[in-house]
Copies of this chain bind each other. A is one copy, B any other.
């Protein structure tokens, strides 16, 4: 696949920088006939909007999406869907020493190493704003999957050391952290207050549960469904780890504990447990798919940090301006979007796995 393109059958190509004119995505391979409006996409974009709580930046990001192609009379036409969000605020300002020094935890140094120079006005291409294109494209994937009975439940499992103890899906949208546990959300808030007081930041863990995925998606070797999900999720800026099902915990389990048995009820086969997280040998088994992502703490903190300029001079850097003390809540919809893109791609890729089904498809 190409550098800025994800997927093989249903592909998304994102473009745009944090301080450029606009950001967007081109979705290619969406089947004809899906009902689609700008509202469908806006709804998802709004889930990642900042300024929704005191733990996310108050910067004004209008982020109104425009569909430029691929939709006619309210339905997708089968041709590329071009999505664009204009950047509101591109006025020049004094970027101070940010412009020529390497912020710790950011991609400034590696961009200079690779390309010889960089857009110094912000994260550029590696800014979190790039995920706008992913979320816009993901909204289409989610709508398509919903029409086929596939649904997603994505939420924050932990913020720093604060982990959920209970799971109430209806609670997820009731708190600023998208946690399915009100008590944990309260503790997470207290923990973040402390972080902010110390000019520090936090990370966390996101879980995505996918229901209704038919058995048979994914392929046995390099494009295992879990491998593609791993790439999809790890390609999100701050993600440092990905797990499927038991994940790292499986490494400590015994075979007799980790294996999922099968049971038949009048010929209907089901699993007796789901340690595998819905994927066996790289192929979906029809049970719930469980993906987990570790998000590192926000690298932009106001404490003084040791770094260097692009001329190789040592420097103590203080990054001012408002920054999220935690990006986990805003990343929830990004993880969901990437998983949706991977699932819809696998859905199409599975359609020519069996000759009898191909023959039947073309008989009509």
| CB under 8 Å from chain B, chain A span 185-204 | 195, 198, 200-204
Tell me the number of copies of this protein.
Answer: 4
A251-B296, A259-B301, A361-B351 given; A110·B68 CB < 8 A: no
A82 touches B221 (CB 8 A): no
Query: Can you name 5 A-B pairs with beta carbons within 8 Å?
Result: A130-B220, A203-B258, A241-B241, A250-B295, A266-B312
Contacts of A354 in B (CB 8 A): 31-33, 78, 114-116
A235 touches B224 (CB 8 A): yes
User: Once bound together, how far apart are the Cα atoms of A263 and B307, in whole Å?
Assistant: 6
| CB under 8 Å from chain B, chain A span 21-39 | 21-24, 26, 28-29, 31-34
Name the interface size band of chain A.
35 or more
The closest CB in chain B to the CB of A14 belongs to B221
Q: Is A285 an interface residue (CB 8 A)?
A: yes
Binds B, one of A47-55, A99-107, A166-174, A175-183: A99-107
Contacts of A264 in B (CB 8 A): 308, 312-314
Told that A23-B69, A237-B282 touch, could you supply 7 new A-B pairs with CB distance under 8 A?
A: A2-B29, A14-B80, A72-B119, A75-B117, A109-B269, A201-B255, A214-B362
Contacts of A268 in B (CB 8 A): 312
User: Once bound together, how far apart are the Cα atoms of A195 and B256, in whole Å?
Assistant: 10
B231 touches A240 (CB 8 A): no
A251-B203, A254-B201, A255-B301 given; A280·B106 CB < 8 A: yes
B205 touches A248 (CB 8 A): yes
B104 touches A262 (CB 8 A): yes
The closest CB in chain B to the CB of A228 belongs to B231
Contacts of A314 in B (CB 8 A): 263-264
Nearest-Cβ distance from residue A119 to partner chain B, whole angstroms: 4
User: Once bound together, how far apart are the Cα atoms of A272 and B305, in whole Å?
Assistant: 11
Q: Is A126 an interface residue (CB 8 A)?
A: yes
B252 touches A161 (CB 8 A): yes
Q: Is A294 an interface residue (CB 8 A)?
A: yes
A126 touches B282 (CB 8 A): yes
User: Once bound together, how far apart are the Cα atoms of A355 and B296, in whole Å?
Assistant: 34
The closest CB in chain B to the CB of A161 belongs to B252
The closest CB in chain B to the CB of A29 belongs to B3
A262 touches B308 (CB 8 A): yes
